[in-house]
Amino acid sequence: PANPDGDIEIRITGLRPGEKLYEELLIGNNPSPTSHPRIMKAHEEFLPWPQLRARLDALETALDATDLDAVEALLTDLVAGFRCESDTPGWNGTATALAANHA
């Protein structure tokens, strides 16, 4: 048979134009080395679960009340780099949509 290890030929071709040899998955610029020379460790910010749970509960309460000011404030506090643009098309109709879908 043409392919004794299976019915599909596997050919190693190397990188194609635009492909990366590796992908950086870190958000910040503060990786630290590990015992392996090609493995880095991230030190990302996070909230302990009890604090995150409390903020998610507050977010759910704000959504239930369709309090968009509170939703915006909570998201701004919870998500690093989050910026709500209140003039974004559709934001003004969000309260109505939330009331209809979250009831």
- pLDDT for 49: 96
**Each residue's pLDDT expressed in tens, for the chain with a length of 103 residues:** 577 777 787 788 888 888 887 777 766 667 889 999 888 888 777 889 999 999 999 999 998 988 888 888 899 899 888 887 766 545 555 666 666 666 5
- pLDDT for 94: 63
- pLDDT for 11: 82
Global pTM reads 0.53
* Residue the block writes with tokens 């109709």: 93
Q: Helix, strand or coil for residue 33?
A: strand
- Single-letter code of the amino acid located at 25: L
